[in-house]
Structure 1
Amino acid sequence: MNRRNFLKTTALAALAATTARWNFAMAQGSGIFTLACPTSFPDLDPATSFSNDGAVLANVYESLARYIPATETSEAKIEPLLAASWEVSEDGKTWTFTLRDGVKFHDGSPLTSEAVKGSIERTRKIGGGASFIWGPVASIETPEPLKVVFTLSEPQPLDLIASAGFAAWIYAPSSLDKDNAWFNAGNDAGTGPFKISRYEPGQRAVLERAEGYWGTVPEGAFQTVSFEIVEDATLAQNMIESGQADWTYSLPYENLEALKSNPDLNVVVNPSFETLFGLYNVKRAPLDKPKVRQALSLAFPYDDVIAAGTSGFGTRAKGVVPAGIWGHDADAPIPKTDLEAAKALLAEEGIEPGLELTMTYSTSQALEAVAGELWKANLETLGITLTLQPMAWEAQWQLGKSDPKAAQDIFVMFWWPTFVTPYDYLFNLFHSEEKPNFNLGYYSNPEVDAKIDEAAKLSGTDRARAEALFIEAQRTIIEDAAAIFMLDQPNIHVVRSDVKGYADNPAYGHVAFVNELSR
C-alpha cells in the first residue's frame, strides 16, 4: 500500500469511528457536536497555545472578557465574561476587574482573584505563545477575593487584551505548577462549559459538558463535542453533507454554490480578520535583496488567485492588517501584477534564469495551493522555478523556526489576531526576533521595531497617533518587500441547518463556541 492510499485508509477509518460515536451519542440522547477540522491542535496548554488549538481551548477555558464584532446595527464592543465589570483610572494605567461570584473550575475550586493572578503570572513566566500581550502589566494585586487590580507601565486597552483568543485564559490554582506535558496529556483546568475527556494528538479531541457550569446553557444544548482532524477536504465535505459532522471550513471555494443549494446545510459567509501572505526569507540570497523580493511580488497573479482560488470571495490585501481592524491602510501602495517590471528588476540585480525557490504551505489549505500553482506559472516565464512544498502545519512551522539558512525561501500562511489590534500582526510577523517564532521571514528593521513599539505605547491614550505609526511601519514593510500580501479571505463556515445559534466571530479564528449552540 502506498503512502497516499494508507493516508486515505486511515482517514476513512477515522470517519467510521466518528460515525459510530455520533450514532451512539444520538441514541443516548446526549447530543454530540462534531467539527471536521482541517488542522491539528499542537498545544493544549493555556499558557503557551498559539495556533489552531484555540478552537478547543475556547470551549474549555474562559477569559475575563470577550470581543464582540461590529454588525450592521451595532458597533464592536467588549463584553464581560469571567469578569462581571471593570473600571479604569483616568491615566489609563490602573484597571480594576470585579469577578463573577459562584464560578468554579472543573476541579471544583472557586474562581478568585488569586486564581486570575496566578494564571497570568504563570503565562508570563513561561513566556511562550502570546504571553507578550501582558507585557504592559507592572503588577497584579488581589485586595479582595473577587477583585483584581492591574497596574500598567503604560496606558493600554487592558479590556481588549483580556479578551484575547490566546494567553488570556484563566485556569485553576491546582494546575499552576503543572508542566506543558500535563496539559498535552489531555488534562485541563478551565471554567468553561466543556472539559477534555479524550485527546489523541493528530487525530481528535473529545469534550464532555462540565457539571455546574456557571453560564447559560440553551435548551437542547450539546453534551459532547468532538474535534475530528480531517485534513482531506473531500472527506470533510463528505462528513458535513452526510451529517457525520456539524461544522467545518476550508472546503474548496468552487464547491460552495452546490453546498448553498443543499437544504441540510448553511454556508455562513462573513468578513474575516485573516490575511494570506508569504514571508520572504530575507536571510538567504538572493532574497536578501529587496529588489529581488519586489520582483517576485510583481510576478504574483493577485486577481487570478482571487478569482480561481476564492471564486471571487476574497479581496486584495492592503498590507498585513485587514479591513475591519483599526490600523488598516486602505491606501497602501501595494504592487500590481507586472511581469515586465519584474523582469527589469531581476536584470538590474543580475539574476539570471535558473533561480530555484521553495515555497512551503499547509496541506490543509487548498487556497494556498492554488496561489502557489498560479504564481509558479508566472515565475516560469521569468526563468524562476518555484517548488511547492505542502506540509502538515506543525512540520511547516518547525521548519520555519529552524536555522534560516536551512529553512524555506517563502513561508505561506494565514494570520488572525490574538486580540483585535494591528500590534498583534506587526509585532508577531515583522518585529525583530532573536529566536524565530512567527517572524518566519526573519525580517529585522530597527526603524520598524521602534514604530511598532511606540504605537503600542500610545494605543491606550492616543489612538490616532498610534494608528498613524502602525501605518507608517506597514508602508516600510511593503517598500522593503518583506512579504507578499496575497489576499484577505472571508470566513466561510459550513454548518448543518438543524444547528441553532451559530454566529461567526472573526476575532477568534475558526472558533465555534459550542455552548451557544443547540439542535
Structure 2
Amino acid sequence: MVAACAILIALLLAACTGEGARVVPPPSPDFSVREATFVYVSDTEVIDDWDPATAYGNEIIALQNIYETLTVYNPVTRKAGPRLAISWRSSADRRTWTFRLRPDVRFHTGRPLDAQAVQRSIERTRSLGGPAAYIWDPVSTITVEDPTTIVFHLRYAAPLDLIASSGYGAYIYDTAAAGSGDLKRWFATGRDAGSGPYTIAEWNKGKVAELTLRAFDGYWGGWDGPRYRNVVFRVETDQETAWRRLLQGEANFLARLDPAYHRRAENTPGVRSVKTASFQNLLLLFNTASGPLRDRRVRRAVQYAIDYHGLIRALDGAGEPATGLVPDGLVGHVRDRQPRQNLTQAARLLTLAGYGPGRRPLRLTLTYAADDADQRMLVTRLAAALRGLNVRLDARALSWEAQLARARDKRPGRRQDVFVMYWRPDYADAYSWYRNLFHGDDPSSLNFAYLKDRKTDDRIDALPTLFATDRTAAQRAYADLQTRLVDELAVVAVPWVVNHLRAFLGGVRGYTDNPAYPNVVFVHSLTPRG
C-alpha cells in the first residue's frame, strides 16, 4: 500500500509539471535514516594533500567534516562562533586572546584534545609554513594555563577569533598520531587525526568513488536522532552523468551546476536548488615586472577592453558584477565602483604606449584554467575585443600546476603577461587578497602581478590591526587599497564575483551555504528524511 501511494504521488507530480518532467523516485522500502549515506558529487578530485597543516585546495569539502577549528564563522551574525572553543576573550588592545576549550573532547586516535594538543597543532602548522600558515603570523607565543585554557600572545593586534575559524591552516589535529614516525607520511596514506564527526573509511585516489567517511562514534556533538552516518565523495566531471545520479537517488548533493542544469533543478519535483553569492571572484593579474605590461598604460588598456556587462549576461546567473577586489559581505566591500568597457579609452592608451590601431602590433600571453568554461568564455571575448585594438592574445588553457610553474619560472621572459585565477579568502576577511596576491616580500605568496611597492606593503601590513581595533578605519583602508591596486597601479582586473549554483535532494534537511567554507557541506548538521 505504501509503495502504491508513492507511485501514485510520483505520477501526479509528473502530470502537474508537464510532459517530460523528471521526478526523483521515492526511497526503497528498506531505507533507514539511522544508517543513511550522504553522497556528495564534486566535479574535481577531492584530495591532493591529506595533511591538515598544508592542505589548500578542494580538500576543504572533506576536511571540514573530519577536523575542527577553534571557532567557526557564522554568516548570519558575520562573526566567529563556538566550535572546539566554547568561549574566548581578548585584552583591550586585542593582543592577548584567551580561549576556553570544550572539556572531554577526544581525537579519532583516542587521545585527549586539550590545550596542550591545540598548542602543538598550531605550532606544527606554523613551522611547516604551508600556504595558509601566514594566518598565525600575529602570534608571538602560545601558553597553556590548564587543560581547557589556552592563551595567545600577539605581536600586534589581530582578530584572532576570526582567524581561528579559517577554512585553511586552522585545523586542530593530534600531532602524536604517528608516534615516532613521520606525521606527514602517516597522513599521506589516507589516515586522519581529527576530532570531527567523521573519520576516513576508504580512500581510492583517482577513482570515481574517491572517498568514504564513516561516523566517529566518540564525537562530542553526539549522534542522537536521524543523521547521515556515512559520507561518500564522488567525482563526476560530466554534468549530465551527475544530474542523472541525482535523479536516480544515487547522489544527494551536486556542488556545482551550470545555469542550464540549475534551471532544470528549479523545475524538477523532489529536487531543491540554491543560488548563493560567494566570497570568490575572478581575477586577471597583470605582470608588472617583465614584458609589455610593465607599462601601466597598457595594463589600463586591457582593463578597459574587458566587456564586464557582456560577461555577466553570458554567465547567466553564475556570476555577479564585481565592484572591486572585495565581495559583498566582507569588510572592505565598496559599492558603486563597477568597471565598464571603454574601447575608445583603451585605444587611446595603447596609442600613447606606441601600440593600438594603425601602429605596431602587440602580443600578450595569458594562461587560464583548463576545463573551466567560464574562464574560457572570458578569454574568448577578451581576445576578440583586443583583436580590434591590434592586440593579439596568445591564451593557453593549463592545469593549475602548469600555471604555477610558468608564473614561477626563474626566467622572467617566460612568465605569462596575464594570469587568470579565482581567489577566495582563507577566513572571512579580505586580508588574504592583499597579503597573498600583492605583498611584495612574501616568498610564499601568489603575487603574480610581481608587484614590489613598499607603500602598498605598508598599507597591507596595517590591515589586521585596523580590522581588530577599528572597523570603520579598516573599511576606509580596504577601499583606499582597492583604488590604488585597481585604478592607480592597474595591476589587476576583477570581472565578476562567483555565484554558487547547486542542487540537492528534497529529503536533505538543514543545508545552508556558508561562504567562508566554499563548497563545504557540514553533513553532521543535516537531517535525512525519507
User: TM-score under structure 2 normalisation?
Assistant: 0.87
Alignment of 1:327 with 2:332, yes or no, is yes
Q: Structure 1 residue aligned with 2:152, among 144, 150, 160?
A: 150
Alignment of 1:461 with 2:469, yes or no, is yes
CA contact (8 A) 2:259 2:501 kept: no
CA contact (8 A) 1:172 1:190 kept: yes
Q: Structure 1 residue aligned with 2:193, among 186, 189, 193?
A: 189
CA contact (8 A) 2:217 2:223 kept: no
Matches within 5 A, 1:105-254: 105-175=107-177, 178-203=182-207, 204-217=210-223, 219-254=225-260
Deviations 1:137-178 (A, max 9, x none): 111111201110111112211111111111110001314874
Structure 2 match to 1:509: 518
Structure 1 match to 2:485: 477
Deviations 1:84-130 (A, max 9, x none): 11121222221111111121100011111000000000011111121
Give the 3-state SS of the residue equivalent to 1:225 in structure 2.
strand
| 1:433/1:226 CA distance change after superposition, 3 Å | farther
CA contact (8 A) 1:130 1:167 kept: yes
Give the 3-state SS of the residue equivalent to 1:219 in structure 2.
coil
Q: Which amino acid aligns with 1:224?
A: N
Q: Structure 1 residue aligned with 2:43, among 31, 38, 52?
A: 38
CA contact (8 A) 2:323 2:339 kept: no
Structure 2 match to 1:272: 278
Shift of 1:53: 1.4
Matches within 5 A, 1:6-85: 30-40=35-45, 41-70=47-76, 75-85=77-87
CA contact (8 A) 2:425 2:516 kept: yes
Out of 336-345 and 216-225, give the one that drifted further.
216-225
Residues of 2 paired with 1:233 and 1:379: CA distance?
Answer: 32
Structure 2 match to 1:285: 291
Residues of 1 paired with 2:48 and 2:97: CA distance?
Answer: 33
Matches within 5 A, 1:482-501: 482-501=491-510
Give the 3-state SS of the residue equivalent to 1:341 in structure 2.
helix
Residues of 2 paired with 1:106 and 1:37: CA distance?
Answer: 26
Structure 2 match to 1:316: 321
Q: Structure 1 residue aligned with 2:370, among 338, 363, 371?
A: 363
Structure 1 match to 2:19: none
Residues of 1 paired with 2:53 and 2:286: CA distance?
Answer: 29
CA contact (8 A) 1:217 1:516 kept: no
Q: Which amino acid aligns with 2:526?
A: L
Q: Which amino acid aligns with 1:317?
A: A
Residues of 2 paired with 1:363 and 1:234: CA distance?
Answer: 19
Shift of 1:434: 5.1
Q: Which amino acid aligns with 2:202?
A: R
Out of 162-171 and 432-441, give the one that drifted further.
432-441
Q: Which amino acid aligns with 1:158?
A: L
Unaligned residue ranges in structure 1 (runs of 5+): 1-21
CA contact (8 A) 1:273 1:323 kept: yes
| 1:53/1:398 CA distance change after superposition, 3 Å | farther
Deviations 1:196-222 (A, max 9, x none): 223334442222221211114363322
Could you say which structure has the larger radius of gyration? 2
Structure 2 match to 1:3: none
Alignment of 1:346 with 2:350, yes or no, is yes
Structure 1 match to 2:435: 427
Residues of 2 paired with 1:402 and 1:234: CA distance?
Answer: 38
Deviations 1:287-322 (A, max 9, x none): 12111111111111111111112x145322122111
Question: Structure 1 vs Structure 2: percent identity of aligned residues?
Answer: 35
| 1:198/1:402 CA distance change after superposition, 3 Å | farther
Give the 3-state SS of the residue equivalent to 2:468 in structure 1.
coil
Residues of 2 paired with 1:116 and 1:156: CA distance?
Answer: 19
Out of 111-120 and 256-265, give the one that drifted further.
256-265
| 1:419/1:131 CA distance change after superposition, 3 Å | same
Residues of 2 paired with 1:169 and 1:357: CA distance?
Answer: 41
Q: Structure 2 residue aligned with 1:392, among 360, 382, 399?
A: 399
Q: Which amino acid aligns with 1:136?
A: P
Q: CA RMSD in A?
A: 2.4
Shift of 1:353: 5.5
Structure 2 match to 1:375: 382
Q: Which amino acid aligns with 2:486?
A: I
CA contact (8 A) 2:318 2:500 kept: no
| 1:399/1:502 CA distance change after superposition, 3 Å | farther
Unaligned residue ranges in structure 2 (runs of 5+): 1-26
Shift of 1:179: 4.2
Residues of 2 paired with 1:151 and 1:474: CA distance?
Answer: 31
Structure 1 match to 2:13: none
Structure 2 match to 1:19: none
Give the 3-state SS of the residue equivalent to 1:511 in structure 2.
coil
CA contact (8 A) 2:259 2:317 kept: no
Structure 2 match to 1:415: 423
Residues of 2 paired with 1:232 and 1:386: CA distance?
Answer: 29
| 1:476/1:518 CA distance change after superposition, 3 Å | same
| 1:98/1:364 CA distance change after superposition, 3 Å | farther
| 1:26/1:224 CA distance change after superposition, 3 Å | farther
| 1:236/1:391 CA distance change after superposition, 3 Å | farther
Give the 3-state SS of the residue equivalent to 1:169 in structure 2.
coil
Residues of 1 paired with 2:238 and 2:290: CA distance?
Answer: 33
Deviations 1:303-352 (A, max 9, x none): 1111112x1453221221111101112244x5310112111111211125
Q: Aligned pairs, how many?
A: 491
Structure 1 match to 2:8: none
Residues of 2 paired with 1:247 and 1:53: CA distance?
Answer: 17
| 1:215/1:401 CA distance change after superposition, 3 Å | farther
| 1:114/1:405 CA distance change after superposition, 3 Å | farther
CA contact (8 A) 2:369 2:400 kept: yes
CA contact (8 A) 1:268 1:494 kept: yes
Shift of 1:513: 0.8
